[in-house]
Amino acid sequence: MTYYIVNDYIQKKSYVLKDRMKYDYILRADQGKLYVDKYANSVIENETPEETGIPMIKDGQLQFLSV
């Protein structure tokens, strides 16, 4: 299982992006933008992501906006 924690040191909050036992996430940069690729279960080499998005804080949770 892969998940990510983003810390907001000013607000003293932590945000977690995970779906335990359902998805794995990989962060990557492309042309100066940060993306999250979502994979079913575990990441297998050369597997196509199920969904790609941009990480954001929404409703007090770390989520990603699909692109």
Cβ atoms of 17 and 4 within 8 Å: the answer is yes
pTM value is 0.65
CB atoms under 10 Å from CB of 36, counted, come to 23
Q: What is the pLDDT of residues 6-52, one digit of tens each?
A: 788 888 888 777 665 677 778 889 999 989 888 876 666 678 888 89
Amino acid 36: pLDDT: 86
- Structurally, the chain folds into a number of domains equal to 1
User: What is the predicted pLDDT for the residue at 19?
Assistant: 67
pLDDT at 31: 93
pLDDT at 52: 93
Domain that holds residue 60: 4-66
pLDDT at 1: 52
